[in-house]
Amino acid sequence: MDVEPATVIHAYGVVCTDAAIDVPATGIGGAGVALLDAGPVSGVFSIVPGASYGAAAWEEHAEDPAWLAQVATEHQRVLNDLVRDIDVLPLRLPAMYRDEVQLHQMLEAETPLFLAVLQALHDHLEWSVHLYLVGEPEESTVERPASGSEYLRQRIDALSRRDSARGNRERLVRDAYASLADLSRQSVVNQPQDSTLSGRREPMLLNSAHLVCRRHERLFLAGVEEVAARLARDGITVEVSGPWPPYNFVELGTDRVDPAEARP
């Protein structure tokens, strides 16, 4: 195994080069944040201790939620600060480079890809929507069956109520998603989050991300309000968070670049 270098580069994201960009003061582990100008695009990065954030550290902590949470949160905070004012392409972790020369080489080699995606996502941000089932339809109290056939009838009624509640819920969720997708440039449904990670006991019925133009933000949020009002009586709550960098939509625009051409 290579000797861990004293410092490595942690890259956060890619932006269009602009002298006026204000980067946040601190990033991962309190390290300073800087821009690396590679022509049309610039990388947002920190120089971090190799012992703490190098390859060996990643290998050691790859499945350690506490360590990952810390790095992920600090990484996201930097992107979050930037995305309020400018378009940023978020890099998936681990985004680690040996030194600035290597980061510069990567940025130069991938410039066509980055420009295509930045152009496709221009002025768009991501919003996250979760639907939770917080209340169940109440089971009506049934009379003690007087006969076998009475019992069967009650049983069939109960099953049919359960099926219709479930079918109804599925329809409500689909409708809610469709309404929000109508207000978005693009939408994606992700798997419901693990309850151990989300810390929520209620079943997550929908975990979706929506790409929304900055100018249409208020329209989208008004749509969320409407959906929430509609679902409240069925025991479903709506949670929205954002704006996020467009993590779920970085594939947009990539079809304009021939992957074979981008490879060295």
Partner 1 sequence: MSSSSPQTTTAPGAPQGPVFSTNREPSGQSLADVLERVLDKGIVVVGDIQVRLLDIELLTIKIRLMVASVDKAKEMGISWWENDAFVTGIDEPDEKDALEQRVRELEQRLGDGEVQHGR
Q: How far apart are CA 165 and CA 225, in angstroms?
A: 23
Beta bridge partners of 43: 14, 36
> Any contact of residue 234 with partner 1 (CB under 8 A)?
yes
Residues numbered 144-183 forming contacts with partner 1, rule: CB under 8 A: 156-157, 160-161, 164-166, 170, 173-174
Residues numbered 113-132 forming contacts with partner 1, rule: CB under 8 A: 114, 117, 128
* φ/ψ (deg, to 5) at 226: -60, -45
> Any contact of residue 244 with partner 1 (CB under 8 A)?
yes
Structure tokens at 124: 């768009």
Q: Which of 111, 93, 94 is nearest to 14 (CA)?
A: 111
Among 64, 239, 255, 258, binds partner 1 (CB under 8 A): 239
19 vs 158, beta carbon nearer partner 1:
158
> Any contact of residue 188 with partner 1 (CB under 8 A)?
yes
> Any contact of residue 253 with partner 1 (CB under 8 A)?
no
Closest approach of partner 1 to the CB of residue 28, in Å: 12
Q: How far apart are CA 236 and CA 174, in angstroms?
A: 13
Closest approach of partner 1 to the CB of residue 262, in Å: 9
Closest approach of partner 1 to the CB of residue 174, in Å: 7
Cβ(160)–Cβ(140) below 8 Å: no
Q: How far apart are CA 71 and CA 64, in angstroms?
A: 11
> Any contact of residue 35 with partner 1 (CB under 8 A)?
no
> Any contact of residue 185 with partner 1 (CB under 8 A)?
no
Question: CB under 8 Å to 71, separation ≥6 — which residues?
Answer: 28, 53, 93
Among 144, 146, 149, 191, binds partner 1 (CB under 8 A): 191
Q: How far apart are CA 167 and CA 170, in angstroms?
A: 5
Closest approach of partner 1 to the CB of residue 59, in Å: 4
19 vs 251, beta carbon nearer partner 1:
251
Does residue 33 come out as left (phi exceeding 0), alpha (psi in the -120 to 50 range) or beta? beta
- CA contacts within 13 A on the Cβ side of 113: 17
Closest approach of partner 1 to the CB of residue 192, in Å: 5
> Any contact of residue 16 with partner 1 (CB under 8 A)?
no
Among 31, 38, 44, 106, binds partner 1 (CB under 8 A): 106
